[in-house]
Structure 1
Amino acid sequence: MGAFDGLAALVTGGASGIGLATARLLSAEGARVAVLDLAGSGPDGMAYVRADISDDVSVRAAVATAVSALGGLDVLVNNAGIGAQGGVEDNSDDEWRRVLEVNVLGLVRVTRAALPALRSSAHAAIVNVCSIAATAGLPQRALYSASKGAVLSLTQAMAADLLPEGIRVNAVNPGTADTPWVGRLMDRAPDPAAERAALAARQPHGRLVTAEEVAAAVGYLASPSAASTTGAALAVDGGMQGLRLRAKD
């Protein structure tokens, strides 16, 4: 018996990285899974719908297609998002709008389109993939942190609004994860190996987080086993959020 036997799940940004690991975990645990992404194709054995979450018309059509293919919806994983670098003065107004359009309003659009189907589920759960950037001040991440701070606050507000309807809403806050986006970020650094070492060292357990570790946290929060958990944010960051280790002598 899988934790998601008989349930249907939609994962945004599910063609790579954390989204792909999450889609695979849910499928392995018995869920019928649909992936919504901008990429050309999705994982084998899963329904795939191409959509741009910055476009409401595209989102509504994609979610309707996914719900129809799945025969309903029990779990929504809002994972799709984009990154940004720089301090508060380093990005133009257009770049601020672009990132917030995807990371915040994109989540809103997908959730809004999915709610009618989720309301028909006895095990409805939404998990938003947030970030350690929402709870820890990171250098050169002003825009990205602002977007993820909004996601964290939105998660709590949604949890309060939707609990009376039987829909749980939680977030996962990954640390720096070993994903394609982070890989591209490191490749652009003057010394990619040094950049990887620096990113690993700032997490107390001394390494990057894996996509599978984040997916496991998403899976728990989305599962019926977490029926009493809502409005929570689960950090998967090697202790970065709360630990302050002493340097070794």
Structure 2
Amino acid sequence: METVKIGEQTLTWLKGGVTHMDGGAMFGVVPKPLWSKKYPHNESNQIELRTDPIYLNLQGKNILIESGIGNGKFSDKQKRNYGVLEESEMESSLKQIGLTTSDIDIILMTHMHFDHACGLTTFENNKWKSVFPNAVIYTSQTEWDEMRAPNIRSRNTYWKENWEAIEHQVQPFKEEIEVLDGLKMIHTGGHSNGHSIIVYENGEDHYIHMADLMPTHAHKNPLWVLAYDDYPMDSIDAKQQWISKAIEENYWFIFYHDAKYRALKWDKEGEIVSSVLREK
């Protein structure tokens, strides 16, 4: 498992599964001759997107960023359409760092689309149950509301089996919340109306998780937004604000989906100056 040490924190990437989504959809109006130079694709024009949660311990709390795609949530048709070649190995991943799913205290959910939220629940004894029974789960109020009452567009990604069993664990927030000292979730909208980013700031120790506003390093250009984004201009506005700030202030960027980089830093000229590569 890959790690990066940022100040006193060590961030560790766990095995949450993988999807392969259509490259055209993932890069929106950007022509394939441009995006294909930045990110590889397979013969079906799909790009590899990891769904690997990030573990950290902060102030004595065991924290996950996102939850992976779980196990047993996909039909054969869905596995084919979404390119699900691996499912979650969260229990074994946590065991390697001396933890169980019951040890997780906090889960930060940037949004609740199926590829982020399927790992929250599992089907046992003819019912859905929480995978992380002792965790407080944070997501924005806007996201939580739509999760439970999706519209005609979003109902394909907000699944009731991903929220009904964990409803009592969810602590929604309005526009911003400081979960622990220095660790914030900030509502941005864009990818979904309730989408949030995660920012950590403590002295000179900074990192940012842009989630699906910038799912891979190849999405650094503020105009390169997903066709899946419900509010693309909000995505562009948020990217313009946060990417420039993070580069200016020497943040680490951390990724849930990127198949090449776990984390990286860019300099002001756009060159990668530090990085953690995913081990194949």
TM-score of the two chains, using structure 1 as the length reference: 0.35
Which structure is higher in strand share? 2
TM-score of the two chains, using structure 2 as the length reference: 0.33
Which structure is higher in helix share? 1
User: Larger relative CO (CA 8 A, sep 6+): 1 or 2?
Assistant: 1
